[in-house]
Structure formats: structure tokens, C-alpha cells
Structure 1
Amino acid sequence: MTVTWATHEADYFDRSTAYLPGATVLDHEIAPREGWSGVVRAGHVLTLVDVGGNQSGDCLIYDAADHEVRYSAQATLVAQRHAYLVDGSVLLSNEGDPLMTIVGNEVDRQDTIGGACSKESNTLRYGHHTLFHHACRENFLLEGAKHGLGPRDLVSNINWFMNVPVEADGTLGIVDGMSAPGKRVALRAERDVLVVLSNCPQVNNPCNDFNPTPLRVIVTDPAVEA
């Protein structure tokens, strides 16, 4: 099953209507710098919308019933033999089982190697004066605590809409994004999963165009007509 996108450009900016197959289970806007978490049932499709454009959405995924089973960037990249997530990529757990599958993607590539910002990494990269800046790690901890997760449960994450090229010398860059207002990525849950999202607060590099903007999360049930 592949997501059918809006056919008119204006549709991308009408946040009151979901142009997705099936009944809408959830339609929520994540404010800039804030987090969101929730269970997505097997077969449901989660669509993340880059409302303002070039806004990174950091993401962790867990089995809803057993949080020890969680997204593994290493297993996913090894299995697909590709450094980036693309349309059709299967997001694997640390046990090698599918958690979610990308069934629609309007950005050339999605990152899962750049990691998440934290107060510690901010001070290391940008100076001690950034210590007070809110970061994705803090959003992960705040949202994860609602589900019994703690620091030991934070693993390598996905960065939706973030542009992290691998340079010729093997180093990673954090550069201007390839996304734009209304761009989308859609994920089908292959089992009941807990998804934790951070609407990245980073203002010290171009990953958010130096201006965090909202993300919109939509969950639909393809088995039920809208």
C-alpha cells in the first residue's frame, strides 16, 4: 500500500484536511521545539508533514508492548545496504524485525546517522553559552518518561527532513535542508509501535534553517474509509 498524496499544491497548506487514505485517527501539530509521543497501531500509517519547510523531526521507535525492542539504525542500514532512508525502507528493530516501513516520501533521502542534539553536544560544538538551549535529547527524555523510558533507552535516532551528506573524506555535514513547506514522509506500522518525536529546537546549525517551525503528525487507518 502506498500513500496517495495531494494533487494540488494548495492542498499542502490546508492543515484542516488530511489527503491520506482511510479514516483519520490523529491529526496533531507539534509546536516548534516541542515533543510528541504516541502508539501507532499495526497497519496504521503515520504521516509527518514539514509544515514550514526544512524542519528536522528527530524520531525514536519502540515495540509498544516491549520497549526493549527498539529501532536500530545499524540493523536497518546493514539490511538495506544504503546510508539513507528512502521510499520502501524497512525500519528494523535491534532484533532484526520490521517496526515500520516508509510507504511515501517526498524528500530524496532521510537521515539516520546524524544523531540528536543535546545540551552536551551543543556546548562542545558551539560553545558553553549554548548550554541553556533546549535540545532533542531533552524532548526524548520528557516524552519517553510518559511511557516509562529513561536515558538508557535513548538509541540512535532518525532525523526526518534533515540533510546530512556524507562527504568525500567520510565526514558528515549538517547543511541546508532539501525539504520545503508541506513535504511529507509516511510510515506504515508493521506492529503496534510507540513513536517518540522531537520537533528539533536546534538554532546553531542549518538543520532547521535557524528558525524552528511546526511539524504535523497525522495517523490514518487505511482499513476504514474516511
Structure 2
Amino acid sequence: MIGVLVVDDQSMVREGFAALLAAQPDVEVLGTAGDGRAAVEEVRRLAAAGRVPDVVLMDVRMPRLDGIEATRLLLADPGAPPPRVLVLTTFDLDDHVYAALRAGASGFLLKHAPAAELLHAVRVVATGEALLAPEVTRRLIARYLETGPARAEDGERPARLAALTPREVEVLRLVARGLSNREVAEELVVVEQTAKTHVSRVLTKLGLRDRVQAVVLAYEMGLVRPGG
């Protein structure tokens, strides 16, 4: 069962998501919260009871504590294994999306996405993967990295990427383009398990938690460019 905490300041939205998820045979809604501070407190309460949520469905714009800061606190909390955070946003050009990725979110989804897409997103994130498959995710990452914090200059790249082999650098480029392990394997003409191993080594060597962080780093290092 996938344990989910639903966080949104609008009660109808919160209850709607909770009802949709609770109706799935492989999902258990562990609780809900109306703002970021309540979300952090609820995750800590659940952790104390031995039930850390697998996924926190996190709204961005909320009172008391927004979803970005709540995500940052949850993922930095040394008291329990961190949940995966799937950020929900109302606007496809929300100024906070890039910050949410930087805070360690495993992906994000537009609130008006179809129910099937939401369910798919929760299941993908619960497995430990980043939600990079939908075209909107790749587009938004590109847009925000284009206008977000300045990327490192060319001379700075070796310091961060020196630990990677040429093949691993190529794997990082492919991951940054939003390719799945299967698609990476096809590009490199290797079996999927080999591609998966390469991706895992890249994440480990760079000290990254998941593919979303790899995408952000690749863009910041100038390894790939928005739209390129």
C-alpha cells in the first residue's frame, strides 16, 4: 500500500483528492493537512507512530507555511526517513515551481491534470522515481531553469562533473532531456538494466537524491540548455 498525506488549503480540493486516492486499492490516505506547518506536524506525528507517508501531495500556495518551505523542512528533518513530495500547482507558470524542485520535490503536477495522471504520478513518485514523464514537467523545468538562478560558467563544470566518466556524462544529458531508463538504454544501445545502473551511479557520484535533482544540476552546469 502507498501511504499518502494530502496537503491543500482548500478543503474541497483536499477532500476531493483524498477521496480519489482512497478509492484506489493500492493507496491508503494517512491524513490531510490545510497548510505547510500542519503538514510538517502531521508527518512527524505519523513518523512517531511508525508510519511515514510514502508520498506527500503538496500544494504550493498556502497560509502559515507554503509548500516549498514545508518541503524543505520535511526533507531536511533528521528525525525520520523523508517522504517523497509531489508538488501540486494551479498555474503552469507558477513562480514557485523551480524553487520547489530546488527544495527537493520529486516532481510536480498541475491541479487541473486528469485524475488518471494524478494517480499515475503518485505511483511513480512512490517507487522512488522522479515525475519527469509528462511533457508539461519537461517544459516547465526548461522554462524555469532558463530564468532561474544563474548556471555555472564552463570553467566550473569539471569541479562538479569530474567524478563522472564520459559515458556517465552522456547518461546525465539524456536524463536531463527527460528520458526514461528504457529510452536511455535505446540511445546508448544497451540493455535497460545497464542504463539503470549508469543512472544510479551518476546520482551516487554527484550526491543527488533523484532524477529531478539530476535534471536541475545538468541545466545549471550548462550540460543541456532549455529547448535544446
Q: Greater relative contact order: 1 or 2 (C-alpha under 8 angstroms, separation 6 or more)?
A: 1
TM range (shorter): under 0.3
TM-score, normalization by structure 2? 0.26
Q: If each structure's helix is expressed as a fraction of its own residues, which one has the higher value? A: 2
What TM-score does the superposition give when structure 1 sets the normalisation length? 0.26
Whose Rg is larger?
2
